[in-house]
Structure 1
Amino acid sequence: MVKFREPGMTEQLSADDWIKQGLKALAKSGFTALKADPLAKAIGVSRGSFYWHFADLGAFHAAVLKRWREIAAEQIIADVEAAGDEPLKALLRRSFGARLDLERAVRNWAAFDAAAQAAVRAIDRRRLDYIEQLLDKRGLDPATAQARAQILYWTFLGFALSGPPVPVARLQGLLDDLLRMISAE
């Protein structure tokens, strides 16, 4: 494999390195930052390295969206399931306690790009199904579980898209209240 790093840099850059840099740029500067030249400059490599790993910008964008779906849904679900804590409570703490710059950036991107919009729809469906499953396991009837999952997810989206973070102590109280409301008969 040909090395594309600038002089003095010895290790090879992988597709994963590019995707990680893309996610950072997306969270910080939005989807317009997902271009080969500015990413190469940020990493300190030539643009040729980008095209070694990705056929074009569309392929790179698809890889970034795929990784976002993995970390924003599948990884969180796996972590919640492995935590040993009550899953719904663990999911609330994890989801509402996270930095959500990337969530906001992808949702903004989806307003302008069909592939990003499809990724957002897919992750929304996956998350809703998982929340519904957790509520079902708590004994709620299917219609109630579905309705409360939707309400809980809308609450998360409102939180994710809102302004400054809520202080930790206040957030914990809000999450406790939310859990009580969702679980109430």
Structure 2
Amino acid sequence: MARFREPDMTEQLSADDWIRQGLKALAKSGFTALKAEPLAKSMGVSRGSFYWHFADLGAFQAAVLKRWREIAAEQIIADVEAASDEPLKALLRRSFGARLELERAVRNWAAFDAAAQGAVRAIDRRRLDYIEGLLEKRGLTPATAQARAQILYWTFLGFALSGAPVPAARLQALLDEILTMVSA
């Protein structure tokens, strides 16, 4: 009879598991939580699993930033494009209705780290380009779309960084007003 063998930690956890845990830790505790030892402890494994998947902490942090860019821009854009609602309205509802702890954490990280700063610059450019395109599709000239996209994005960043909760009915009224302002 064959003996049952416990799978080792490298079989149990994937790089994706570590990245997901890293994003959770980042959102909850900030970039200083992105270390092998505390992450391993929170996942109930040794650091060996971490180093099985990532050459070093820098490689892990790069993977976390890459995933953040995917979920904070590309996934949102894909969801907006797939929505039955008008894209700009869907984008506003999605962006202003999201939990933004991760957004705040990455932007804070960017104040201390060049790689995080580069990721933030890239995502800002991607988001601005997308918003400009949506406004141009609504009939605005490129120059007007660019200016209004920037104003809209600054509005989002102010909202994201404030962290102040807004009751749902009030938020909807604000989003309706924002849509009117950028579309006029």
Question: TM-score, with normalisation over the residues of structure 2?
Answer: 0.95
Distance (Å, rounded) in 2 between the aligned partners of 1:48 and 1:152: 45
Alpha-carbon separation, structure 1, partners of 2:12 and 2:167: 42
Instruction: Return the offset for 1:4.
Output: 2.1
What residue number does 2:100 align with? 100
Give yes or no for the alignment of 1:82 onto 2:82: yes
Q: Distance in 1 between matches of 2:75 and 2:27?
A: 18
Task: Please tell me the root mean square deviation across aligned C-alpha atoms, in Å.
Answer: 1.0
Specify the alignment match of 2:91 in structure 1.
91
- The answer on 1:4 being equivalent to 2:9 is yes
Among all aligned residue pairs of Structure 1 and Structure 2, give the percentage whose two residues are the same amino acid.
Answer: 88
SS at match of 1:85: coil
What stretches of structure 1 of length at least 5 have no aligned partner?
6-10
TM-score (norm 1): 0.95
Which structure 2 residues correspond to residues 56-71 of structure 1 after superposition, within 5 A?
A: 56-71=56-71
The CA distance in 2 between the partners of 1:45 and 1:163, in whole Å, is: 33
How many residues of Structure 1 are paired with residues of Structure 2 in the alignment? 178
SS at match of 2:84: coil
Match of 1:72 in 2: 72
Q: Distance in 2 between matches of 1:81 and 1:22?
A: 28
Shift of the alpha carbon at 1:163? 3.3
Q: What is residue 45 of structure 1 aligned with on the other side?
A: 45
Q: Which residue identity lines up with residue 149 of structure 1 in the other structure? A: A
Shift of 1:164: 2.0
Q: Is the 8 A contact 2:27 2:101 kept in 1?
A: yes
Q: How far did 1:132 drift?
A: 0.1
Q: Which runs of 5+ in 2 are unaligned?
A: 1-6
